[in-house]
Chains A and B, each alone.
Chain A
Amino acid sequence: MNGVHDMGGMDGFGKVEIEPNEPVFHSRWEARTMALVRAMGAAGAFNIDTSRFYREALPPHVYLSSSYYKKWLLGLEDLLVDKGYVAPEEVEKGHALKPTKAPPRGTFRRDDVERILVRGTFSRAPQAPAKFKPGDRVRCKNIHPATHTRLPRYVRGHVGVVELNHGSQVFPDSAAIGAGDDPQWLYTVVFTSAELWGADADPTVKISIDAFEPYLEHA
């Protein structure tokens, strides 16, 4: 979706400022939110692409004015209600009030924590041979899916060169909407700055994205 989350190349957000000695969390609710999202994801309530889609789908003014973990919480609430794991009145009251669908993998327990500290693999058996190889010139398609995609706007329509092939992996555009893994080949595609930002761009800069095969065509 063409949301405000897709920020690459936007102007006006100001200087980057690093907070010295930044704590891991700025308050306990941030820590609880992070843990709840990880736990419910691991319990099978949603995959990572769906959780990203729900944060992107927050209204633009909410997305831009909310802190990082506030976005996580708002996305989590919406997701759990939409998928039928909790009822809206339960979120409001802070208590379980009625039977609802349980997450597919059951209760997330203390013993399950160790396994989520290392990411699982996103590799999947390919559905077809790879269409592109390192060195190929490719154009990112001019596509504008209304749902989740990982093709940022700033590269659409632009030509780059395939640099790496990362194998066949879960296709986020499909997984985010519950349509299955639909594995696709994943490539690192590198662009010159002039290709993306025009003739005045800094010629010493190159930018790459990781692009799934359905985003690309031969150039």
Chain B
Amino acid sequence: MAHDHDDHDHHDHDHGSELSEMQIRVRALESVLTEKGYVEPAALDAIIEAYETKIGPHNGARVVAKAWTDPAFRQALLEDATKAVGTLGHVARTGDHLVAVENTPQRHNMVVCTLCSCYPWEMLGLPPVWYKAAPYRSRAVKDPRGVLADLGLALPKDTEIRVWDSTAETRFLVLPMRPKGTEGWSEEQLAKLVTRDSMIGTGFPKTPGAPS
């Protein structure tokens, strides 16, 4: 928030007092666990750094772009996503139980976790706040078209919407449709069009020439 330290703003001030209470509380627990020798602070730093700099939607975007340009990889991805992603080596890594679901003109896929916040971390990084919050978790399974409308997405009325509730350790990655006007584009160019939300099913990829 741009005005985080603006004491004139009462709204931010209220927000700030919860933050400092939480900072103190987390620091206290970290001190206990460090003094007891359960965790090294440097290990915590490294975990945070990985999720802030290395693991994010760019990982999933590379997988999607590869599927758009390489029919054999697309087929392999849809058959066994964990195995297919494993063949990409350093580009992206994923654990077991990854399932890729493909959008078509007939069917739009959308992923939710109504019970908590299950999300393909290795492909998309940590989930955004809205994915973990009550409005999305409550409505995605009952009124997905309404949720998509909230987000500015209009699908044709007869397009089937398939909602995948991630209630176990299976992790779902939506393979969005390749945007028109990208014939001949390289994987690297295509990956830049693939947004996080397009891989959750709450957005579409960017289109060529549109402002980013």
- The 8 Å CB contact of A206, one of B139, B140, B162, is B162
- Specify which of B29, B51, B93, B130 is in contact with A77 (CB 8 Å cutoff): B29
Task: State A144–B122 Cα separation when bound (angstroms).
Answer: 33
Do B141 and A15 touch across chains, with their CB atoms under 8 A apart? Answer: no
Q: Are B32 and A96 in contact (CB under 8 A)?
A: yes
Q: Which chain A residues numbered 101 to 115 have a C-beta less than 8 Å away from chain B?
A: 102-103, 107-110, 112-113
CB of B40 within 8 A of CB of A109, answer yes
Residues from chain B with a CB closer than 8 A to the CB of A127 are: none
Cβ of B144: which chain A residues have Cβ within 8 Å of it?
202, 205
Output the least CB separation between B197 and chain A (Å). Answer: 7
A55 within 8 A of B: yes
A-B contact pairs, 5 of them (CB 8 A): A8-B114, A8-B141, A29-B25, A56-B116, A197-B142
Residues in B lying within 8 Å of A, measured CB to CB? 19, 22-23, 25-33, 35-40, 42-48, 50-52, 54-56, 93-97, 99, 114-117, 121-122, 125-126, 128-130, 132-145, 147, 150-151, 157-170, 197, 202
Task: Give Cα A90–Cα B126 distance, bound, in whole angstroms.
Answer: 30
Q: Using Cβ atoms and an 8 Å threshold, which residues of chain A touch B162?
A: 190, 205-208
Given A24, A39, A150, which contacts B44 in the complex, CB threshold below 8 Å?
Answer: A39
Q: Of B95, B117, B164, which contacts A208 at CB under 8 A?
A: B164
Known A-B contacts A5-B116, A6-B114, A206-B163; the reply to A38 vs B38 at CB < 8 A is no
Could you give, for residues 135-164 of chain A, a 1 whenever the CB lies within 8 Å of some chain B CB and a 0 otherwise? 000000000000000111010000000001
Residue of B nearest to A123 (CB): B96
Evaluate contact between A7 and B134: CB separation under 8 angstroms. Answer: yes
Instruction: Give the total of A residues in contact with B, Cβ under 8 Å.
Output: 93
Q: Interface digits, A160-193 against B, CB 8 Å rule (1 contact, 0 not)?
A: 0000101001101000000000000010101000
Task: Kindly supply a per-residue 1/0 record for chain A positions 87-102, scoring 1 wherever the CB is within 8 Å of any chain B CB and 0 otherwise.
Answer: 0001111111000101
Contacts of B114 on A, CB cut-off 8 Å? 6-9, 152, 154
Give the chain A neighbours of B50 by CB distance below 8 A: 113, 117
Q: Given A36-B39, A107-B40, A152-B165 in contact, is the A29-B115 Cβ separation under 8 Å?
A: no
Task: Name A212's contact: one of B55, B133, B168 (CB within 8 Å).
Answer: B168
What per-residue 1/0 map shows which CB atoms of A29-59 lie under 8 Å from chain B?
1011111101110010100000010011000
A4, B97: Cα distance in complex, Å: 27
A120 to chain B, nearest CB (A): 6
- Report the nearest A residue to B52, measured CB to CB: A24
Are B35 and A95 in contact, with the CB atoms below 8 A? yes
**Neighbouring A residues of B37 by C-beta, 8 Å:** 102, 107
**Complex: A29 Cα to B29 Cα, angstroms:** 11
For A207, what are the chain B residues with a Cβ–Cβ distance below 8 Å? 141, 162-163, 165
